[in-house]
Amino acid sequence: MAVTEDPWLTWPEDFPPGTKRPGGGGGPARPERWYMRRELHLAIGILVAILTVFLAGQRATAGARATLDSRLVQGGADADAGLIAIESEQLSAARAVAFTQGVATALAADDGPALNRLVTPLQANSTVPMIDIVQPDGRVLLAVRAKGAPAPVASRKGLRALKLALSGIHSSRGGRFSEVVIYRSGPTLLTISPIVLGSKPVGAVLAMTPLADVLGRLSQETGVELTTYDTIGDPIATSAVFNPKPLSSDVAQTLMGGGAIVTRYNWADHREKLGRLIVDHQPDAVLGVSLEDDSNVTGRWVSIDVAIGLICTALILATYWARVVLARRRFE
């Protein structure tokens, strides 16, 4: 320990600038360099800590959002695959009715009771909630409904699918196909098959499921919220708990034409991926797949965790530094 005329001036830093230090050889004290100032080092440390917290939160947010986008894209692909399974179920039911012995004869003879005895057991053994037997002019001769299905109607006159089915009995698919149609009861997934007696079509069988029920089933299977939009962008059915926002007609037409997937926020923080709904190997509507976006919450919690970690590290280092300085002073 240095001995001075002022005993309280014990350490070199206690001497004011410009004074001689004991054992220092005399002369003024060297001025402190700007880059050695403690204030500068403290400011840089705080700035680095803030940037670290911010960048960690941003990377966590981006990672969580990328995971969500991948889940939405996969959900859309799974929904299209599930729709194929539902089409297959409806086609199986329609074929079973069309090829059951006696159905064509009863339809040609306008024999409703006979049709009822033949068709009702087939519908009960299938997963299809709605089956209509219609004549070539569109009159519904028999309508079989599962519990909770929309009420029957008297006529399907003007249905484009009926005309196509009856005129396509000699095509490679025998006039059988599926599409989305919009009835007064709501949008419906329709599978139609002509009923032929000999070589003459005497009517058709319509196997149908409300589109809202289709989306509800697919939503449960895929774990995402599904919405369908028509070709002008208006929502026609959804499994979500909110009312989806319409699309612009340009976006809907672009997607129907095979445009790239579009991403938007449909309602609040629900992120949605938009693509084509494929029915019977053809684009028939726009499909929206959405989920709530919690990536900001993930990023916020990561930022908080990083900030807590930096604060704890700084406290540990400060405690260690204080112990080293006190030990050095005791030794000197």
Within a domain: residue 268?
yes
pTM of the model as a whole: 0.78
Q: What is the pLDDT of residue 17?
A: 57
Question: So what's the pLDDT on residue 274?
Answer: 96
Number of domains making up the chain: 1
- Which positions ≥6 away from 190 have C-beta within 8 Å? 161, 178, 179, 180, 181, 206, 207, 208
Q: What is the pLDDT of residue 22?
A: 52
Question: Dihedral sign, CA of 212, 217, 220, 221?
Answer: negative
User: In sequence order, what are the residues at sequence separation of 6 or more whose Cβ sits closer than 8 angstroms to the Cβ of residue 161?
Assistant: 177, 179, 181, 190, 192, 206
With respect to residue 14, please indicate whether it lies within any of the assigned structural domains: no
327, part of any domain: no
Give pLDDT < 70 ranges for the chain: 1-32, 34-36, 332
177-to-143, 160, 204 alpha-carbon distances in Å: 20, 12, 12
Residue 138 inside a domain? The answer is yes
> Cα dist. 158→145, 183, 279, 282 in Å?
22, 11, 21, 22
Tell me if 315 is assigned to some domain: no
User: Per the domain annotation, does 325 fall within a domain?
Assistant: no
Is the residue at 97 inside a domain? Answer: yes
User: Residue 207 is part of which domain span?
Assistant: 62-295
pLDDT in tens, 208-251: 999 999 999 999 999 999 999 999 999 999 999 999 999 999 99
Q: What is the CATH number of the domain that holds 112?
A: 3.30.450.20
Q: Which two tokens stand for residue 298?
A: 């993930």
* Residue 312 covered by a domain: no
